Amino acid sequence: MATTLGEKIRLARKEAGMTQKDLAGQEYSAAFISQIERGVIRPSLQSLQTLAGRLRKPVGFFMESEADLREKECDWLLVSGRLLSGAGKAPKAGKTLQKAAQMAAEIGDRRREAEAAAAQAALAEGQGNLDEADKLYRKALAGFEEVGASEGAILCLLGLGAVSERRNQGPQALQTYQEALARAGKGDTPDPGLRLRVIGRLGLAFYRFGDFTAGARYHEEALDLLKAVRSTQDLVGRYLETAQAQYEAGDVGRALTEAGKGRALLDLRADFVMAAALHVNAGLIAEDRGDWEEAAQRFRAALSLYRRAGDRLGEVAALIELARFHHHAGLTQKALAACDEALELAGLIGDVPLQAQGRQVLGKVYAEMKDRERAIESLTESVRLFEQADRPSELADSCYELGELFMTMGERDKALAYFQRATALFRQLGLASGRGNMDDQMVKRMSRPPA
């Protein structure tokens, strides 16, 4: 943001495509223009009128009142405080934001006072000082409401909801988020990014407090909103384009505000991914204790969240886990459909380990269906891919599955080769494989007649 006379002249000159010599003309020198732009000297009113005429700007464009300068200084303190906070320099951030709050109070600007209080609240929340954060968010909320700044008020409600969550005050957090959502839907042109943040936060809160049905409902609404703007990345792109335009126009403060909106959406995306990862972990734990229905519910929730976040890797992993569940539950067609979808996505993003896992599950499903040709094809491909990805444990598992399959077909030499390879891999890893002692397993299988 141009805050001095010299900076304004420099920006106007560059906008007009003029050099310092062009602007100087016959009356002045390029060195004189350089000194003005650097703030070394101030031109007389007559000289300023001449330069303004050449730049095709009114003289008033280059004049600044004391009030204007103090407002801009306050804005700079707010921006600096936020940047220092984001950089992890909490003590300096606190002092800078306190100066901003004092200056806003001195010039009687309620909106800037509210912005300073909101920034201080976020800093206090990040440091774990929840009582202070609560007090400051409420102060900022009152200020934003007084001046009719609805976006600021909604962000304060999100902050208050987050404080309640950290205090494990579930009903209060949900009520606060719902109030924010009601406000985000008002107005002629509601900000889709802001509404998406509120809906996402509300859905995640329901998930956290155990109401998965409500959480899924709000995430369905989030998905509908994402469809309207195509994707989170697309919306972030819009904010960044606006930020770039504001920056090029010299308004750094507004540029940072727009960029901050984009960053907040990316933070929300990270929240989705984190929530999805928690569901996957819970699903794996449920599998270990034999609760397959609970595992399936968790994997479906994870799949939904990964899709909302646009995380293709997570989406593929969740699909593979769902395929395992369907296979275990005897839902063959659903297992095949999940495998096919997972493999298609894994191929698009070029992830070899996930392709290998998908092929392995698919091979097991075909083996269960007695479709031995397709089972061998899929498991053999999984072996190749696990080798390529250097995943020895999973490679050993696929080798063992192929050994089992060839035994049922009476092809003992092939079965022995795969069993021996699996055994060597597990010995190398120092693992028991979850199947018991691999040597004993192989001996028992080779001593039985083929099925």
3-state secondary structure 76-99: HHHHHHHHHHHCCCHHHHHHHHHH
What's residue 204's pLDDT?
Answer: 79
> Can you give the pLDDT at residue 120?
95
Q: What is the pLDDT of residues 55-107, one digit of tens each?
A: 988 777 776 655 666 777 788 888 888 878 877 788 998 999 999 999 999 88
**pTM: predicted TM-score of the whole model, two decimal places:** 0.53
Q: Which of 128-132, 169-173, 284-288, 431-435 has the lowest mean pLDDT?
A: 431-435
Q: Could you check whether 5-62 and 66-190 share the same CATH topology?
A: no
Give residue 261's pLDDT.
76
State the pLDDT at residue 293. Answer: 82
- 218 is written with which tokens? 């709000």
Domain positions in the chain: 5-62, 66-190, 195-310
Q: Is the pLDDT of residue 373 over 80?
A: yes
For 66-190, give the CATH class. mainly alpha
Q: For 441-447, what is the mean pLDDT?
A: 40
Per-residue pLDDT for 40 more than 80?
no
According to the model, what pLDDT value does residue 438 have? 42
Assigned fold of 5-62: 434 Repressor (Amino-terminal Domain) (1.10.260)
Q: What is the pLDDT of residues 151-166, one digit of tens each?
A: 899 999 999 999 998 8
Question: Nearest to residue 323, comparing CAs of 334, 309, 310?
Answer: 334
Please tell me the distance from the alpha carbon of residue 229 to that of residue 190, in angstroms, as a whole number.
13
> Between 234 and 113, where is the model more confident?
113
In degrees and rounded to multiples of 5, residue 436 shows phi and psi of: 90, -170
Calculate the average pLDDT of the chain: 82
CA distances from 289 to 247, 282, 297 (A): 56, 11, 15
pLDDT at 434 exceeding the cut of 60: no
Weakest-pLDDT range from 99-103, 157-161, 272-276, 437-441: 437-441
Confidence of residue 203 (pLDDT cuts 50, 70, 90): confident
Residue 67 CA to residue 128 CA, distance in Å, equals 36
Distance CA(14)–CA(295), nearest Å, equals 62
> Pick from 73, 98, 93: which is nearest to 82 by CA?
93
Is the pLDDT reported for residue 385 higher than 90? yes
pLDDT of residue 172 exceeding 90:
yes
Confidence of residue 26 (pLDDT cuts 50, 70, 90): confident
What is the predicted pLDDT for the residue at 443?
40
Please state the rounded mean pLDDT for residues 21-34. Answer: 90
The pLDDT confidence band at residue 436, using thresholds 50, 70 and 90, is very low
- Give Cα 57 to chain centroid, integer Å: 43
Q: How confident is the model at residue 188 (pLDDT cuts 50, 70, 90)?
A: low
- Express as a percent the part of the chain with pLDDT over 90: 28
pLDDT score for 441: 45
Lowest mean pLDDT among 24-33, 62-71, 362-371, 407-416: 62-71
Q: Select the more confidently predicted residue: 16 or 256.
A: 16
Cβ–Cβ under 8 Å, residues 364 and 371: no
Q: How far apart are CA 153 and CA 198, in angstroms?
A: 12
Q: For residue 250, give the DSSP letter.
A: T
Tell me the Ramachandran region of residue 56: left when phi exceeds 0, alpha when psi lies from -120 to 50, beta otherwise.
Answer: left
Between residues 187 and 292, which one has the greater pLDDT?
292
Taking residue 245's Cβ as centre, other Cβ atoms within 10 Å add up to 13
- The pLDDT score that the predictor gives to residue 232 is 64
User: What's the gap between Cα 210 and its chain centre?
Assistant: 23
Task: State the pLDDT at residue 278.
Answer: 67
pLDDT band of residue 274 (cuts 50, 70, 90) is low
CB count in 10 Å sphere of residue 440: 10
State the pLDDT confidence band at 374, using cuts at 50, 70 and 90.
Answer: very high
